[in-house]
Structure 1
Amino acid sequence: METRNVGASSTSRESSAEGKQDLLESEPTVDVGTAEAEVELATGKVGERRHAAALSASAGAGAAALIGAGLGIISLTGTWAGRVAAERQNLIGQIESSRGGSPAQHISRIYGDAWHLTAVVNGTFAVLALLLGILVLARQAFGGSNRPQPVWMRSFAWAAVTLGTLGLAISGVLYTDIVASLPTTGTR
């Protein structure tokens, strides 16, 4: 037959409960955010989050570089919006020319203003391409990730800068009539 010492076990339970209470009171309070960060650090989730954030930023920079290169090409070839604006300016020039004026004024109103507006629209696309390319290239220097950008991203960003610069130069030359000036009537 087994005998139990009931008094001893209740005393040990009471001392055990008091010990737990003392332990709970003596533990420092833990910030939930810190505890979660420690768990993430221990399980490797911090690295996953940083990697996901870096991929997201990298995807955005890659898209900006690609769009910048596309805008650079558009600045060289022209756009539908530029064509519509030029046609509208041509119509306005015809309406203004119907009121009278010299032949040189007619040419300037009908063709020159539309030509200059096309140069302005294409120049705007060139500036956008140039800015996107510069922003992608400068992202690393101004708070970007510590990881180097992929080669394809830098290539598209440099293409955007180059095509944007070329498009801006051509638009400036066309706007100022340096290369192709308006035809003259022979009379002054």
Structure 2
Amino acid sequence: MNPTTPTTPTAPVAEGDGEKTTAKKAVTDTAGTKDSAEHRDEAATESGAAADRAADADLDLDGGQDLDAEFEEPGKESSGLGVAAAAVVSAGLGVVTLSGGWTSRVAAERETLLGQMKTASGGSAAQQISEIYGDAWHATALVNGLFGLVALLVGVFVLVRPAFGRPSAHPQAGWVRAVATAGIVLGVLGVLIAVCMYFDLIVALPTAPAAPAAGS
């Protein structure tokens, strides 16, 4: 008989090792899945934090703009009120320029008093006319002309102010521009009339009659 070759028994450890290897792979896969989930959670958390920061920044920006608007509103209101008042002042000064005022009357009376004092000790008729009446009329024309010049400058300031500021932030009402224009027109007329009166172009001073000859 042929001798029987002893067979090496298969070690059952191989199946155990396979099961252990499979278990290790399962654990590794589970760990990888957990890591991926953790990474996703961290990314989501970071995205949420970034969104919160952006929202806070927008809120701060809007709040700052609101505060700026609140602080700017009184300035805008006062600026519009000041421009409207300046337009009314321009028109009022223009009316004073043409009609005269208390200031011009005082200046005229002062010049009249000075003329009377100068001619009290004697003087020709031409000198009395010039000192008492001419100087008073010229003083009236000068004061009225100054009022007209101020009215003109204030009206021009009201009309040209939006060109140097922010027209969108400080819009002018139509009546403000109309009143300022009226002040400019009245100021120009007042200045022209005052100049003509000061230089005796419209109404000249009367001339004294010539003294009669001694033999006549």
What TM-score do the two structures reach when normalised by structure 1? Answer: 0.75
CA RMSD in angstroms comes to: 2.1
Alignment of 1:183 onto 2:200? no
* Alignment gaps of 5+ in structure 1: 1-34
Cα 1:56–1:105 change in 2 (3 A) is same
User: What is the aligned partner in structure 2 of residue 5 from structure 1?
Assistant: none
Decide which structure has the larger Cα Rg and report it. 2
Give structure 1 regions of 4+ aligned residues with deviation exceeding 6 angstroms: none
Identity of aligned residues (%): 45
Distance 1:36 1:184 in 2: 81
Out of 171, 174, 177, the residue aligned to residue 148 of structure 1 is 171
Deviation, structure 1 residue 169:
0.7
Residues 31-61 of structure 1 show CA distances to partners (whole Å, capped at 9, x for unaligned) of: xxxx9765332xx333333333222111111
Out of 69, 72, 75, the residue aligned to residue 97 of structure 2 is 75
User: What is the aligned partner in structure 1 of residue 192 from structure 2?
Assistant: 169
Deviation, structure 1 residue 84:
1.2
Given that 1:70 and 1:160 are in contact with CA atoms closer than 8 Å, whether structure 2 keeps it comes out as: yes
Out of 123, 126, 131, the residue aligned to residue 109 of structure 1 is 131
What TM-score do the two structures reach when normalised by structure 2? Answer: 0.66
Deviation, structure 1 residue 95:
0.8
User: What is the aligned partner in structure 2 of residue 8 from structure 1?
Assistant: none
User: What is the aligned partner in structure 2 of residue 39 from structure 1?
Assistant: 63
Given that 1:68 and 1:129 are in contact with CA atoms closer than 8 Å, whether structure 2 keeps it comes out as: yes
Q: What residue identity is the alignment partner of 1:40? A: G
Distance 2:151 2:166 in 1: 20
* Alignment gaps of 5+ in structure 2: 1-58, 212-216
Deviation, structure 1 residue 120:
0.6
**Aligned counterparts, 1:128-143, within 5 A:** 128-143=150-165
Cα 1:144–1:66 change in 2 (3 A) is farther
User: What is the aligned partner in structure 2 of residue 90 from structure 1?
Assistant: 112
Given that 1:75 and 1:164 are in contact with CA atoms closer than 8 Å, whether structure 2 keeps it comes out as: yes
Deviation, structure 1 residue 103:
1.0
Deviation, structure 1 residue 100:
2.7
Deviation, structure 1 residue 73:
0.4
Residues 144-186 of structure 1 show CA distances to partners (whole Å, capped at 9, x for unaligned) of: 4434311011011101100100111111111111111111113
